[in-house]
């Protein structure tokens, strides 16, 4: 009996990760065409953050790695190098931190989410410095701050406004509980 429950838990997490991956690919395609709204809303990040919170750190990290490359293959956006590669690192860290803090350590989503966002943003900046440095280019601090925080504040606000209520509504409906085995 335990064996069957263990595989059911894995299937639920896998299906959750697959749905989040599909949303991470489709949402930017739908919203990206709206001028002055597409790039700044960070809509690919929302499903990946949700995946880390709901499916756990490993499924979420895998979703975060795959999403930018799958979106590139289907639409040509984001550009493969350096943006998609840096986004893959950023999104994987987002989901990993969300999953580890919220699912494993049961830290509240309002604390976990900003921690994950700051950590992921720092990894994005480090990845951009590393990759552009290998090309002999530089990624200056003022460009980093403008790229990561100033131009994307609507997306950051959207993530903070949308994700915690979704997670808490799923918890209240008893459809999700951090660290719970789905039996």
10-36 pLDDT per residue, tens: 888 999 999 999 999 999 888 877 766
Spatial separation of the C-alpha atoms in residues 39 and 103, rounded to whole Å: 30
Looking at the chain, the whole-number percentage of residues with pLDDT higher than 70 is: 91
Distances (CA, A) of 111 to 67, 107, 122: 25, 7, 17
Encode 134-148: b = buried (16+ Cβ within 10 Å), e = exposed.
eeeeebeeeebeeeb
68-108 pLDDT per residue, tens: 999 999 988 888 888 899 999 999 999 999 999 998 888 99
For the domain 2-172, what is the CATH code? Answer: 1.10.1760.20
Q: Which two tokens stand for residue 22?
A: 């599909």
Domain ranges of the chain: 2-172
Spatial separation of the C-alpha atoms in residues 138 and 171, rounded to whole Å: 45
């Amino acid at each position: 009996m335990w064996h069957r429950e263990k595989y059911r838990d894995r299937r639920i997490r896998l299906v959750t990760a697959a749905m989040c991956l599909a949303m991470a690919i489709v949402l930017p395609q739908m919203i990206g065409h709206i001028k002055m709204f597409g790039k700044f809303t960070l809509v690919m990040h929302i499903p990946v953050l949700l995946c880390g919170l709901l499916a756990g750190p490993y499924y979420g990290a895998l979703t975060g790695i795959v999403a930018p490359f799958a979106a590139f293959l289907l639409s040509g956006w984001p550009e493969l190098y350096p943006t998609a590669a840096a986004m893959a690192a950023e999104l994987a860290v987002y989901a990993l931190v969300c999953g580890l803090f919220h699912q494993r350590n049961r830290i509240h989503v309002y604390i976990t989410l900003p921690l994950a966002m700051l950590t992921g943003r720092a990894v994005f900046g480090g990845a951009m410095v590393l990759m552009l440095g290998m090309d002999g280019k530089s990624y200056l601090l003022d460009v980093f701050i403008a790229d990561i925080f100033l131009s994307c504040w609507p997306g950051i606000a959207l993530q903070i406004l949308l994700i915690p209520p979704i997670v808490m509504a799923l918890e209240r409906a008893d459809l999700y509980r951090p660290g719970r085995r789905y039996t």
